[in-house]
Amino acid sequence: MWQTLTHFPLQPYFAFLAGGILLNLTPGQDVLFATASGVKGGPRAGVMAGLGVGLGALWHVALAALGLSALIAAHAGALLALKYAGAAYLLYIAWKSWNDTGAAGHSKTATSGWDALRKGALTNALNPKPILFMLAFLPQFIQPQIGPAWQQILLLGLTFGLTGTLITAGYGYLAGRAGHAIGARMGVLNKGAAVLFAGLAARLILED
């Protein structure tokens, strides 16, 4: 493993790093989830949602390294089941957010960081798109001559997961700061977050 890490060429590694950062900066499901969590629960919830998304990414990296991602992607039924499970979970979060009026105060909802962490991890783990991403993007940077492919998948996957976690948590923090600025309107913010979560569920179902 150490030999693979130390012998991985810098040029393809930094090309992968740059591509991964650009992809992570583009608002997708993970960013929108952390943003909605930050709006609903404050900066801490937004950051913890981003960290949870990162934990979910580790799950996909492990699947890819073990070769399970290819097996799942090869079976349309497995991908479809994963997609519907993820959409159902997002709809559940949307329903909870819609019915949260914020009457208990913004300071109380801002302490729900661990809940945001858990939801972020589950949301990403149940999203089939990272599986396809791992299969489409990572293999382009594998260098067969320097070591086993699974070790390189771990290296690249962890790199992508780390940068993605930092960026997503940053989005969540900024959204949380904006939420604090208008904390007196938590009921409206929670309904806005609910719409975002429901939109994510629809996007997950409708996109190919």
The pLDDT of residue 109 = 38
**Range among 25-34, 54-63, 96-105 rated most confident:** 54-63
Average confidence score pLDDT of the chain:
78
pLDDT at 92 over 90: no
Question: Which of 169, 173, 167 lies closest to 17 in space, CA to CA?
Answer: 167
The pLDDT of residue 191 = 77
CA distances for 143 relative to 7, 18, 82, 154, 155, angstroms = 10, 18, 31, 13, 12
Q: How confident is the model at residue 44 (pLDDT cuts 50, 70, 90)?
A: very high
pLDDT at 173 over 90: yes
Distance between CA 55 and CA 82 in Å, rounded? Answer: 17
The pLDDT of residue 74 = 73
pLDDT at 45 over 80: yes
The pLDDT of residue 168 = 93
Neighbours of 106 (CB within 10 A): 18
Distance between CA 150 and CA 115 in Å, rounded? Answer: 32
Distance between CA 27 and CA 168 in Å, rounded? Answer: 9
Q: Residue for token digits 């939801």?
A: 119
Residue ranges per domain, the chain?
30-206
Distance between CA 41 and CA 109 in Å, rounded? Answer: 5
Tell me the two tokens of residue 132.
Answer: 């396809």
Q: What is the pTM of this model?
A: 0.71
Lowest mean pLDDT among 3-17, 45-59, 94-108, 128-142: 94-108
The pLDDT of residue 104 = 40
